[in-house]
């Protein structure tokens, strides 16, 4: 179009005598040509911005198969764009342990030694305009790999969210965390005893509803497979577990937040013989979290107090709690303390144990930390003193953790 314009203009100027054009007319014509050139440049810039916005994900499903020379460099040999590759990250945990007891027991996971505590590979991406996906692969030690989580989520309405897959059940706060995100190197005693090594990790489907009130209030309901061997694992395929959780979050002021949650889970267990509970398990728990970060000093000062109390009610009642304090006293330094207790008050398997823990952490960035922890475990058998030293690091693009 532009070439045709210049060609016609050249013919016109060629056949018109120069004397017929005044200086002012020539200046007007030159200004018009420059204006047309600027309009063309602006139009080209707008098209490039539109292509960039489209590639960022707003209309990906509509433009997936549209061939674009400007994005040819980001395509594979097959012609399929790499822009839909998931964000990939790797979390590594290397652990050194000293334990004052049980070092000749090969089944004991926390005896003295050096080991790769865990390696975790996480893939996260939007699937389309409706669904997001998250896959977490876990390698404990240096052998064996398992699917720790595989989750699909969809925002059905402004307030209603759907989740399906295999995931850490939202029972309290700590059970939802991956190993690298623990506040301490190990789990509280109560979580370890009630849920076991893997925590309460189930296959299921559920909904979360954001209640329309002046503060954050979320109600969650989930149907779970119910295969935790310590609490459920009923004999019939239809022996599901059912969870309901209510979680509330308040901004107390510009520097302080308060979170309060309660959880209840019901399901069938695999214990043989009749009982007062008719082979039923009832789990109940409450959690409280207080966080303080001074305005303008968020990277240098933080104080977090978190407490959970929980119980399992079936043939024998298991109950316990933990409380922990985390204090960031400098940009890269944390000091922390925790108490955790657990007991079975009655019956043939009576137990009573508690653990005191102290931790010092140096976090050079959000991608790495070196943590030193001391535990003293009181129990019916020999008391234990433990010293743990952990290197915690992250490679790649890792999704943000929950607040």
Residue 333 has pLDDT above 80, yes or no: yes
- Residue 160 confidence (pLDDT): 97
Both structure tokens of 278? 């008719």
pLDDT band at 135 (very low <50, low <70, confident <90, very high): very high
Closest by CA to 283, choosing from 348, 230, 357, 341, is 230
Res 389: pLDDT:
98
Give the CATH number, domain containing residue 204: 2.40.160.10
pLDDT of amino acid 34: 77
- Per-residue pLDDT at 393 exceeds 60: yes
| pLDDT winner (highest mean) among 25-39, 132-146, 204-218 | 204-218
Note whether residue 383 is domain-resident. Answer: yes
pLDDT at 129: 86
Q: DSSP code of 345?
A: -
What range defines the domain where residue 198 resides?
116-396
| 302-313 and 280-292 beta bridge pairing | antiparallel
User: Which pLDDT value is given to residue 392?
Assistant: 97
Residue 81 lies in a domain: no
Q: Of 234 and 319, which is predicted with more confidence? A: 319
Examine residue 110 and state whether it is found in any structural domain, yes or no.
no
Asked if 151 and 166 count as a contact pair (C-beta separation under 8 A), the reply is yes
The pLDDT value given to residue 23? 57
- Is 74 domain-assigned? no
Number of domains in the chain: 1
270-297: average pLDDT: 85
> What average pLDDT score do residues 373-390 get?
92
SS3 state of residue 44: helix
Binned at pLDDT 50, 70 and 90, residue 336 comes out as very high
Residue 84 pLDDT > 90: no
Query: What is the pTM assigned to this prediction?
Result: 0.77
Within a domain: 298: yes
Average pLDDT over residues 132-157: 93
DSSP 55: I
Which is higher by pLDDT, 16 or 37? Answer: 37
* 9 belongs to a structural domain: no
> For 284-289, what is the mean pLDDT?
98
Q: How far is CA 284 from the centre of its chain?
A: 24
pLDDT at 397: 84
281 or 20, which is more confident: 281
Residue 66 is assigned to a structural domain of this protein: no
State the average pLDDT for the chain.
Answer: 84
User: Which DSSP letter does residue 85 get?
Assistant: P
Check residue 123 and give its pLDDT. 94
Mean pLDDT of 12-36: 60
Per DSSP, the three-state class of 71 is: helix
Q: What SS3 string covers 186-234?
A: CCCHHHHHHHCCCCCEEEEEEEEEECCCCCEEEEEEEEECCCCCCCCEC
* pLDDT at 275 > cutoff 90: no
- Return the minimum-mean-pLDDT range out of 14-28, 153-167, 279-293, 311-325: 14-28
The stretch 104-123 carries a mean pLDDT of 88
Interval 278-305 mean pLDDT? 93
């Amino acid at each position: 179009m532009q070439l045709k314009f210049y060609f016609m203009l050249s013919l016109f100027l060629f056949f018109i005598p120069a004397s017929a054009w005044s200086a002012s007319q020539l200046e007007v014509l030159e200004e018009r040509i420059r204006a047309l050139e600027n309009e063309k440049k602006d139009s080209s810039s707008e098209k490039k911005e539109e292509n960039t916005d489209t590639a960022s994900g707003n209309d990906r499903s509509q433009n997936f198969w549209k061939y674009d020379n400007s994005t040819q460099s980001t395509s594979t040999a097959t012609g399929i764009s790499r822009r839909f590759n998931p964000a990939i990250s790797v979390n590594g945990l290397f652990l050194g342990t000293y334990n004052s007891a049980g070092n000749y027991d090969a089944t004991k996971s926390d005896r003295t030694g050096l080991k790769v505590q865990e390696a975790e590979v996480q893939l996260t991406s939007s699937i389309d305009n409706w669904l997001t996906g998250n896959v977490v692969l876990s390698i404990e030690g240096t052998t064996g790999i398992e699917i720790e989580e595989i989750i699909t989520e969809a925002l059905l309405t402004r307030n209603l969210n759907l989740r399906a897959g295999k995931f850490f059940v939202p029972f309290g706060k700590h059970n939802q965390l991956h190993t690298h995100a623990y506040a301490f190197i190990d789990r509280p005693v109560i979580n370890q005893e009630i849920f076991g090594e893997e925590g309460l990790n189930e296959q299921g489907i559920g909904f979360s509803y954001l209640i329309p009130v002046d503060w954050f209030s979320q109600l969650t309901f989930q149907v779970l497979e119910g295969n935790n061997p310590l609490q459920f694992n009923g004999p019939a395929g239809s022996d599901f577990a059912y969870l309901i959780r209510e979680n509330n979050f308040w901004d107390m002021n510009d520097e302080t937040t308060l979170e309060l949650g309660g959880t209840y889970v019901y399901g069938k267990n695999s214990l043989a013989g009749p009982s007062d509970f008719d082979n039923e398990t009832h789990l109940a728990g409450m959690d409280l979290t207080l966080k303080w970060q001074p305005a303008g000093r968020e990277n240098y000062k933080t104080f977090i107090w978190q407490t959970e109390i929980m119980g399992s009610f079936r043939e024998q009642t298991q109950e316990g709690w933990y409380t922990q304090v985390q204090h960031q006293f400098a940009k890269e330094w944390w000091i922390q303390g925790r108490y955790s207790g657990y007991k079975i008050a009655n019956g043939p398997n009576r137990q009573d144990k508690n653990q005191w823990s102290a931790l010092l952490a140096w976090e050079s960035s959000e991608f790495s930390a070196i943590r030193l922890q001391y535990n003293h475990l009181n129990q019916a058998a020999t008391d234990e003193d433990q010293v743990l030293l952990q290197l915690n690091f992250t490679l790649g693009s890792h999704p943000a953790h929950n607040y």
